[in-house]
Amino acid sequence: MFNDFPLFPDAASSIANDIDAFYFFMVGVCGLLALVVVCLIFFFALKYRRRHPDEIPSGEEPPQWVEVVWIVVPFFILMGMFFWGAWLYFQVSRPPDDALDIYVTAKQWMWKFQHVGGQSEINALHVPVGRPVRLIMASEDVIHSFFVPAFRVHTDVLPNRYSFNWFEATKVGKHHLFCSEYCGTEHSGMIGSVFVMEPADYEVWLSGGAQGSPADEGKKLFEKLACDSCHATSSTGRGPSLVGLFGQIRPIQGGSAVKADENYLRESILNPQAKIADGYQPIMPTFRGQVNEEQLMRLIAYIKSLGARTQQGSTQPVSSGGNQIPGSPATTTGNGRELPTQSGSNVTQPSPTSTNSPIPAQDTP
């Protein structure tokens, strides 16, 4: 019976045991401190109780060593917690270079996932075991929170900006996914599952088909919106070239500079007057209201895929960590990432027995 209702969720990620150890250490220290304080309260209440109504207590200074111990010991314990927690924070906030990117869009009341190979899912996420996965997340409406207890992954997903987190699953199986931030009347139904698969099974699932990678779809949208009329592959356009831009330091007007990451690209599309590239005029219109969150992610994926410009004006790949699925057919994008070459489309619905059955794409739970 107790196996059906475990006290704690499985530790199914590479960081889960470290987080558990830190959690139990803090609980143990706080519990021990609380026990000591309660015992001292009872001890002093009995030892120094008033034994006669006319008794006057005498002033008594505590020994100096008691004050020293009470200051030094908690100081080292708390500093140990601080450095341990800081180490865990840097582990959680810095994904490996070879992490597999997955785009996540949260909306009332469902989770939508887009893989680099073009596969899309709703309320279900398929990942390979033993492979770091980086989540690039945004909300279409209100604040949501991505929470997988078995992975010890918990991140607020905010509107108007990107949030990031990563995990490396270590146990094959099905794990629960929740929204842990109250987001509306159907908040309790915003749940899903993460299916962790063996690499070979994951390749079989990938072979179910795709509608085109986010970078390919982003290129089509880039041309449809006529962005290429200003942002040419050369530096002769009215706007700056986007080739090799992602991850670089971009000088902006006013003498400062910013890193061209996902949030910078997002802001430049929706609010282009916020940070104007040095040497260019503020002529770019806003695309707010013309593109939704999924289209924004596709545009950014396309910009990220653009390589570095050579002296002849052509492009070449930039090595920035791979996204290739081991053993799958692949093609190299402009940023050095290798993506599965597939066609078709599939949206997978969670199922504990069948994890690669395609169903028609839907935009509602």
Residues 6+ apart with CB under 8 A from 299: 218, 221, 222, 227, 265, 269, 291
- Whether residue 43 has pLDDT greater than 50: yes
Q: What pLDDT is recorded for position 327?
A: 36
- pLDDT at residue 292 in the model: 85
Provide mean pLDDT across the span 197-210: 83
Domain extent listing, the chain: 100-210+343-359, 214-320+330-340
H-type helices in the chain, by residue range?
16-47, 64-93, 199-206, 214-224, 262-270, 293-305
CATH 2.60.40.420 fits 100-210+343-359, yes or no: yes
Average pLDDT over residues 312-325: 40
% pLDDT > 70, the chain:
80
pLDDT for the residue numbered 345: 37
Q: Is the pLDDT of residue 35 over 90?
A: yes
Q: Is pTM, for the whole model, over 0.75?
A: no
Q: Is the pLDDT of residue 340 over 70?
A: no
CATH code 1.10.760.10 for 214-320+330-340: yes
